[in-house]
């Protein structure tokens, strides 16, 4: 009879048939993840330098959206499961949330990059829509965690609680909120400029 492999998730008596531990240490996994993300943003920023009509802010946003699209569509965080074992147990909420994230927000991120590079009229609306979706999903994620109790699925070590559970998730609150403000200011400015032009035409 095969001996069950001990997993690092909470609770310790959680049954995970077929569990296979990570081969790489978490330092390597985090280094590759954050290093790769930074390289993607930097690569896009440099590459888009030939688009002379793009501002530095727009080039940074293009890097962010390409990076977040790859994260949503390609990467699944097995290591992150240590911060929330619901990812290992295939919790119903997690499965549905990640499904929408991967197959709706993921492709939408790539579309936004195209819109930014070619200054499509719909780019701000798309950025705001996807940012709202990311923010809403993250808020629901936190609320469900608090509702069932943080100690049910989350390890208490500083790395996993503050680094993964709090820090990694906070990115999907801070950046989407920043993006929503950025998009709203541009949309409001465009509408105000259109209104001013219309007023001038009427008065002339």
Residue 64 pLDDT more than 80?
yes
Give the residue-averaged pLDDT of 47-51: 89
Share of the chain above pLDDT 90, in %: 33
What percentage of the chain reaches a pLDDT higher than 70?
75
Averaged over 58-71, what is the pLDDT?
92
For residues 123 and 112, is the Cβ–Cβ distance under 8 A?
yes
The band of 19, judged by pLDDT with boundaries at 50, 70 and 90, is low
Note the pLDDT of residue 82: 58
Q: What residues does each domain of the chain span?
A: 26-79+86-199
Inter-residue long-range contacts of 134-140, CB under 8 Å, 24+ positions, other chains counted: 134/68, 134/101, 134/105, 134/172, 134/176, 135/172, 135/173, 135/176, 135/177, 135/180, 137/97, 137/100, 137/101, 137/172, 138/169, 138/172, 138/173, 138/176, 139/173, 140/93, 140/97
Q: Is the pLDDT of residue 32 over 90?
A: no
Confidence of residue 175 (pLDDT cuts 50, 70, 90): very high
* pLDDT, tens only, 114-128: 999 999 999 999 999
Q: pLDDT grade, residue 131 (50/70/90)?
A: very high
**Between residues 143 and 80, the one the model is more confident about:** 143
Q: Give the pair of three-digit tokens for residue 86.
A: 């619901």
């Amino acid at each position: 009879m095969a001996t069950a492999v001990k997993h690092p998730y909470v609770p310790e008596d959680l049954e995970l048939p077929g569990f296979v531990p990570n081969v790489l240490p978490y330092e390597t996994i985090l280094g590759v993840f954050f290093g790769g993300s930074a390289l993607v943003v930097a690569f896009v920023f440099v590459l888009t330098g030939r688009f002379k009509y793009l501002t530095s802010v727009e080039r940074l946003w293009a890097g962010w959206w390409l990076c977040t699209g790859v994260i949503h569509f390609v990467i699944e965080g097995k290591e992150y499961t240590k911060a929330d074992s619901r990812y290992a147990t295939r919790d119903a909420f997690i499965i549905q949330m990640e499904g929408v994230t991967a197959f709706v927000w993921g492709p939408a991120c790539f579309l936004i990059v195209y819109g930014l590079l070619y200054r499509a009229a719909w780019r701000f609306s798309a950025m705001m829509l996807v940012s709202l979706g990311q923010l809403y999903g993250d808020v629901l994620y936190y609320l469900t965690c608090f509702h069932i109790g943080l100690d049910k699925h989350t390890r208490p070590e500083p790395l996993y609680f503050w680094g993964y559970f709090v820090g990694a998730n906070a990115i999907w609150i801070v950046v989407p909120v920043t993006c929503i403000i950025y998009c709203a200011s541009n949309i409001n400015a465009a509408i105000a400029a259109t209104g001013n032009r219309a007023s001038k035409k009427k008065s002339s």
